[in-house]
Structure 1
C-alpha cells in the first residue's frame, strides 16, 4: 500500500511539473500543435517515469553477528502486545476510492447523456464525417467522426464556420485528448493541478481548431462573431469537443496574435533538466550491503577449550588433563590432595594452575560427598588467552565466565563475546533545510489588470472596435507581469533544488544508520536474554530502559514527520 501512495505522489508531482512548464513558458506561444503533444507527453511521462528506478549499492562494514547456538530455553521470544491503532493508510485509501468511484459514475453518466443526444437521430454521411442535425439547444460539438449541431439556430454562413471548426477536431482526433484528460482527472482527482491541466488541454485544442478553421474561411471577423454568438448557449456535452468554451476572449486574442518566432521553441527543452533532477532525487534507490571479506572474518568464533573434572574422573584422565593444558596452552597444572570414597568417586581434590606469566589460580574441594563437576576454561581471542576456573557444579549449566558465555563442554564453536549491555542509540532523522524565500512579485492582486467585457451587441462596430483596443491593452499589461513571475519561479526552483539535494544526501546517511541500528537492536535483545534470562530482575530493568529509549525515538520520528509535512507545505506554497 505504501508503494501505491508513493507512486501516486510521484505521478502527481510530474503532472505539476509539466503544467508549470506549460503555464509559465508555453501558454502564450502559437505553437498550438506542439503544445498539444507536450501536454500529452506530460501525462504519459507521469504514468511511466515513476516505474523507472535505478538501484545504487552502498558497501558498508559488516555488523558483528552472534554465533551462539544456545539451548531451546535461551531462544529469545517476543510476546505480542495487543493495542488499538488507527490505520491511516486504509483511511486515505478509502477516501481515494470514494472519489474514484464517484468520478467513474460521473464519467458513465456523461457517456449516457451523449448516447441520448445521438439516439434515434438521422445521420448524414459525407466523406469521413457523420453529420447529425438535432433540435436540442446544445452547443455544436464533435465526437470522433460525428459532428452535431442545430441548424435552425444559425445562418448559413455561421453554420459553415462552425462545421469547419468541428472538422478540425474530428480530423485530428481531438476526442482522444479529451477522454485521456478525463481519465487522468478520475485517477488523480485529489490533485487540483490535474483539473487545471485538463482545462489547458481543452483550451489548446480550441486554439488548434480556430487556427486551422480560420485558414479556410475568408472572413475572419465573421468567424469571431460566430464565437461570440455561441456564448448564449445553455449547455454542452461534457466528453466532446464543443464549439463553445468559457475562455472565448483568449480564443479571439489568439486568432489575432502574430505567430511566435521559431527561436522560442527552446522552451520545450526547459523541462529536461527538471526531469533529470526528479530522477536523481526520487528514482535512485540506495541499498546497503556488507563487505563479504570482512563479514567472513567477523563470523569466526573465539577458541574455547574446556577441561572438565567429574566425580568419576580417573587418575589417568587427570594426568592427561594436565599434559594437554601444558601442550596446548603452556599452562602448568598440579593436582594434589585427591581423595575417593568406596565407589572410587572423587570427594576431595586440589588443582593449582600457573600460567607462563606467573599468574596463579587454585581449585580446592573438600568433603565427604562426591564432588560436583568443576574444571578449567581457556579462552583464546586474537592471540590472547584467558584462564577461568569453575567449581561447585558450574560446568553443568550455561555459565558466564568474565565476558564469555560458556554453554557446555563442547562449546568451542558456541561462544559469543558479549559487549557492555547498553541499548543502542537510534539515529536522529535529518531536518529539511529551511531559510528565507524570495518575495513573490505583485502580492496585491488588486493591481492586476481586469479583462474587458465584450459588447452585448456583436454587430455594433464601434463597440467591437473599442473592445479590440481594450483587449490589446489588457494583453500588453498582462505581459508586463510575465518577466517578474518567470524570474521569481526560477529563484524558487533553484533554492528548493539545492535544499532537496542536501536533504537527500542526509536521508541516505540516515537510512544506512537505521539499518545498523536495527541490527544492533536485535543483538542487544539477544544479549540481554542470554546474560540475565527472561525472568530476571536485571532483564526487566534493561527492557524498561529500552522502552524509554524507544519512546524517545518515536518522539523524534514524529518531529521528523512534522518537518516533512512542513517542507511539503512550503514547497506547495512556493
Structure 2
C-alpha cells in the first residue's frame, strides 16, 4: 500500500511540474501544436517515470568468514489490532472510480444515441451528420455533427472548418486520454486542471487553423459568441462551444510568438533529471570479495558467494555467472522450494571445477534453510580450491537441522571408503537433511566437520592426536591451552565443530592456525 501512495505522490509532482511550466511559460505563446505534444508528454511521463528506477551498486566491506548471518533480535510485543485505514481509502477510491466509469458509459451511450440511425453524408475523410436536436456542434473522430437549421450559411461554414481541424488532427484521442486519466486519478485536482488545459489548447489549435482558411476573421469570432448560447454538449467530443470564449478570441488575434521563445519547453528537463537522481535511483549494497592471506598455506584470497534464505532466482543466477566468469566454476541449483514468506526451504547446490566437486543439500519442513556459501580458495600460484561454507545456528535457536561434512572421491572405491570413515566419525539422527559433500581427487586434506543435534559424539583418532595443539572453544569461551576435551562428559555435548586450515585462521586468526574445536554443551 505504501508503494501505491509513493507512486501517486511522484506522479502528482511530475504532473504539477508540467502544468506549472505550461501555465506560467507556454499558455500565452502561440505554439499551439507544440503545446499539444508537451501536455500529452506530461501525462505519459507522470504515469511511466515513477515506475522506472536506476540501480546503483555500492560495495561494502564483507562480514567476517563463518560469522552468523542472523543476529539476535529483541522480542517485539504484539500490538493491539488497529483500524485498517488502507481498506477505507481503497473503498473510497473504488466508489469514486466506479461513479466516473458509469458517467463515461452514459456519455458514450448519449453519443451513440445521437449518431445512430442518422443520415451520414460522406465528403473526403469526413462524415457529416445534420441533426434536429438543439446541441452544440461537435466532432468525434471522422464524424462532424451539427444542426444546420440554427445557423446561417456563413456561420455553418465557420463551424465546419473548425470541426474539420479537430477531426483531421485526431483531437478526439487527446480528449479521451485526458478523460481516462481524470477517471483513474479522480481524487487529484491537478489532473482536472490538466485536462482543462488540454481541451482549451485544442480549441486554440482549431481556431487558429480555421481562421487561416476563412476570409472573414471577424465573422468567425461572432460565430464563437453566438454558439455560447447553446449550452448542451457531449462531454467526450470536441464541441464548438467552449467556455473561456474571451481567451479564445484573444489568442486568435495575438501575434505569432517568436521562435526564440521555444527555449521554455526545455525548462522541465533539468527538473526531470533532478527527479530521477533524487527519487529513482535504487541503491544496492554488495559485499566485496573476502581476502584472507596465509603465509604458511600460501593462500592469496578466499571468495565466499553467500546463499541466504531470501536469495532470489536472479541472485542465484548472478552467483552462477560470477563463478563461471571469474573462477571457471560450474554452479547448478535444483530442488528449489520456498515457503509463504518466499524463504528457501529446500535447495540442492552443485559446484564443479575440473576434478573438484562440492555439493550441498538442504531440506526442511517449511522453515528457512541455514544460510551457507560457496567457498573459492585461490593460491598465489593460481591454483583454486572449492568448497561449501556452512553455518551452525545452534547458538541462536534450538537445533532443528543435522549437518555433516565428509570427503569422498569420484571413484566408487574412494566413495565407499570415505563413506565408511564418515559413519565412524558422525552419528546423526534427524528428520531434517542438511548435507555437505566435498570431493577432490587430487587433494586429501581435511575439511570442516560439523556435528549438530547429535545424541552421541565420537571424536576420531586423527582429531585426538592433535587436540593438545588445537584451540578449544566451549560455549563461545576460549579454553586454556592445557584444557582436556575428555574432561567433558559426552552426554553433555550438544554439538561439536572442528575447523582446520584457512577456515580456522579466518575465524580465529593465528591462534587457530593449528585447528579449532568448537563445543556447545546442552543447556
Same structural fold, with TM-score higher than 0.5 when normalized by the shorter chain: yes
Cross-structure match for 1:396: 491
Alpha-carbon spacing, 1:77–1:392, altered in 2? closer, same or farther (3 Å)? farther
Deviation string for 1:177-229 (max 9, x for gaps)? 10111011112112111111110010000000101111111111111111111
Cross-structure match for 1:44: 44
Cross-structure match for 1:112: 109
Contact map agreement 1:12 1:188 (CA 8 A) in 2: no
Alpha-carbon spacing, 1:378–1:129, altered in 2? closer, same or farther (3 Å)? closer
Tell me, in whole angstroms, the C-alpha distance in 1 between the residues paired with 2:138 and 2:106: 18
Once the two structures are superposed, the pairs formed by residues 158-177 of structure 1 within 5 Å of their partners are: 158-177=155-174
Contact map agreement 1:141 1:242 (CA 8 A) in 2: yes
After superposition, the CA RMSD in angstroms is 4.1
Alpha-carbon spacing, 1:27–1:531, altered in 2? closer, same or farther (3 Å)? farther
Contact map agreement 2:64 2:507 (CA 8 A) in 1: no
Contact map agreement 2:11 2:46 (CA 8 A) in 1: yes
Tell me, in whole angstroms, the C-alpha distance in 1 between the residues paired with 2:65 and 2:77: 25
Cross-structure match for 2:27: 27
Cross-structure match for 2:202: 205
Contact map agreement 1:304 1:377 (CA 8 A) in 2: no
Whether 1:15 aligns to 2:3 is no
Contact map agreement 2:29 2:257 (CA 8 A) in 1: yes
Q: Mind listing any 5+ residue stretches in structure 1 that lack a counterpart?
A: 70-74, 306-316, 330-375, 399-406, 419-529, 534-574
Cross-structure match for 1:58: 58
Contact map agreement 2:473 2:479 (CA 8 A) in 1: no
Query: Alignment partner for residue 123 of structure 2, among 122, 126, 135?
Result: 126
Alpha-carbon spacing, 1:387–1:14, altered in 2? closer, same or farther (3 Å)? farther
Cross-structure match for 2:211: 214
Greater RCO structure (CA 8 Å; 6+ sep): 1
Tell me, in whole angstroms, the C-alpha distance in 1 between the residues paired with 2:193 and 2:178: 10
Q: Identify the structure with the greater strand proportion.
A: 2
Query: Alignment partner for residue 96 of structure 2, among 96, 99, 102?
Result: 99
Q: Identify the structure with the greater helix proportion.
A: 1
Whether 1:252 aligns to 2:249 is yes
Once the two structures are superposed, the pairs formed by residues 171-250 of structure 1 within 5 Å of their partners are: 171-250=168-247
Once the two structures are superposed, the pairs formed by residues 492-571 of structure 1 within 5 Å of their partners are: none
- How far apart are 1:151 and its partner, in Å? 1.3
TM-score, normalised to structure 1, is: 0.53
Contact map agreement 2:66 2:390 (CA 8 A) in 1: no
Contact map agreement 1:137 1:233 (CA 8 A) in 2: yes
Alpha-carbon spacing, 1:111–1:411, altered in 2? closer, same or farther (3 Å)? same
Tell me, in whole angstroms, the C-alpha distance in 1 between the residues paired with 2:76 and 2:232: 65
Alpha-carbon spacing, 1:219–1:387, altered in 2? closer, same or farther (3 Å)? farther
- How far apart are 1:293 and its partner, in Å? 1.0
- How far apart are 1:98 and its partner, in Å? 2.3
TM-score, normalised to structure 2, is: 0.58
Once the two structures are superposed, the pairs formed by residues 380-395 of structure 1 within 5 Å of their partners are: 388=483
Alpha-carbon spacing, 1:9–1:390, altered in 2? closer, same or farther (3 Å)? same
Tell me, in whole angstroms, the C-alpha distance in 2 between the residues paired with 1:531 and 1:232: 94
Tell me, in whole angstroms, the C-alpha distance in 2 between the residues paired with 1:148 and 1:199: 22
Tell me, in whole angstroms, the C-alpha distance in 2 between the residues paired with 1:35 and 1:410: 73
Report the secondary structure of 1:238's partner residue. Answer: coil
Q: Mind listing any 5+ residue stretches in structure 2 that lack a counterpart?
A: 293-301, 305-388, 393-446, 450-459, 509-519
Alpha-carbon spacing, 1:219–1:297, altered in 2? closer, same or farther (3 Å)? closer
Contact map agreement 1:378 1:385 (CA 8 A) in 2: no
Once the two structures are superposed, the pairs formed by residues 311-322 of structure 1 within 5 Å of their partners are: none
Tell me, in whole angstroms, the C-alpha distance in 1 between the residues paired with 2:482 and 2:59: 38
- How far apart are 1:89 and its partner, in Å? 3.5
- How far apart are 1:389 and its partner, in Å? 6.3
Once the two structures are superposed, the pairs formed by residues 410-559 of structure 1 within 5 Å of their partners are: 412=499
- How far apart are 1:94 and its partner, in Å? 2.9
Deviation string for 1:447-483 (max 9, x for gaps)? xxxxxxxxxxxxxxxxxxxxxxxxxxxxxxxxxxxxx
- How far apart are 1:384 and its partner, in Å? 11
Report the secondary structure of 1:292's partner residue. Answer: coil
Query: Alignment partner for residue 145 of structure 2, among 122, 139, 148?
Result: 148
Report the secondary structure of 2:282's partner residue. Answer: strand
Report the secondary structure of 1:55's partner residue. Answer: strand
Cross-structure match for 1:139: 136
Report the secondary structure of 1:56's partner residue. Answer: strand
Alpha-carbon spacing, 1:39–1:138, altered in 2? closer, same or farther (3 Å)? same
